[in-house]
Structure formats: structure tokens, C-alpha cells
Amino acid sequence: MGNSEIIMCNNEIKRKRIPSVGELLHFWDDGKSSPSRHYICKVERIVPISQADSIQFDVTDYDTDKSIKRSLRDFWESEKKSCYWLYAYKTDVFIEASCPKYDEHNLWFARTKDGGFFSMGIQNSWQSGRLDVDGEKFKEMVSFWEDENNYELVEAYKNCKY
């Protein structure tokens, strides 16, 4: 699998980068642009859509309170129905990332309509956020804070570590 794929998003062909395993990326809780919503994630693995049924999670069925298994594909299908404005109709890969300062469970990301990646609430419903695979949101925030003469925040962001 190459570092980038061509996908259809909103009837346009967009080229978005697929990160590498081990790469550290910016993560924005709920996609919000604020220091309190900023984290660093580490890409743990890339899973092609063809393998989504083989990734299984033990979750609690809320109706019966019993443990059941659900596949990564099941979660994605449910998420794209309930958040139809956010997730792309098709995805080529899923990204698993660790973000220990955000959540003890790994996060799972699927393609968005703009070609990026947004996490799905697999282990709990609070696991949603944008993975900044191209660094554009991070650059935008640094530029904004430089314009506001908030150099302390700029330096903190530029020096953030996993």
C-alpha cells in the first residue's frame, strides 16, 4: 500500500496521504481547534477495508447488557449512517492509533467526506476526533496564534511531544 490513495469525496477526486505505522500525528478532540482539545497520537496500524471484518471488539449490548462481538466494519457502517455528514460513503483504510493522554483505548479512524480521517466511538462514545494527517490544522492554529502574538502557545505547540 502506498503513502497516498486517490478516493472520491463529494464527487471530486482528492489525494490524501495515508500515514505510516509509528508516525506521530496531531489529533483534535471532536475536531475542535483549541489547546485543550489538542493531543498527539501514534499510528499503530493501517487496516485495509478488505480486512475490516476480521477485526473484532468485545462490547456490551445496551439492550441485553451482555458482551457481544462487533467487527470494525459493523462500527464503521453504524457511524457513517448516524454521522452521514461526516464520514465518506466508502473508505479505503482504517487507522488504529494510540493516544494515551486522551484515552487508554486505541482510537480507530475512517475516511471523512473531505478525504481526511475521523475516529469512531468504538470503546466509548467519547472517542471522536480528527487525525491531522497532513498537518494543515496544526499549521493553521500556529499561524493563528502567531497573528494573535501568543508566542508562548506557539512554542508549546511546536515543541509538543507524544
Closest CA to 120 of 94, 100, 102, 158: 94
Within a domain: 160: no
> What is the number of domains present in the chain?
1
**pLDDT confidence of residue 77:** 94
Residue 82 belongs to what domain range?
4-135
Q: Is 143 domain-assigned?
A: no
pLDDT mean for each 10 residues of the chain (162 residues): 46 72 88 74 96 91 81 93 91 94 91 92 76 84 70 64 46
d(CA 66, CA 58): 10
Ramachandran region, residue 10 (left: φ > 0; alpha: ψ -120 to 50; beta: rest): left
Whether 140 maps to a domain, the answer reads no
User: Which alpha helices (H) appear in 6-150, and where do they start and end?
Assistant: 72-82, 136-147
Whether 145 maps to a domain, the answer reads: no
3-state SS class at 7: strand
Cα distances (angstroms) measured from residue 66 to each of 58, 59, 69, 73: 10, 8, 10, 20
Those residues whose C-beta lies under 8 Å from the C-beta of residue 43, and which sit 6 or more positions away, are: 19, 20, 21, 22, 23, 24, 25, 95, 96, 97
Instruction: Provide the whole-model pTM.
Output: 0.79
For residue 22, is it within any domain? yes
Residues 6+ apart with CB under 8 A from 16: 4, 5, 7, 111, 115, 116, 133, 134
In a domain, 72, yes or no: yes
Q: Which amino acid is at 100?
A: P
Residue 156 lies in a domain: no
Q: What is the pLDDT of residue 2?
A: 43
Query: How far is C-alpha 138 from the geometric centre of its chain's CA atoms?
Result: 14
Q: Does residue 158 form part of some domain? A: no
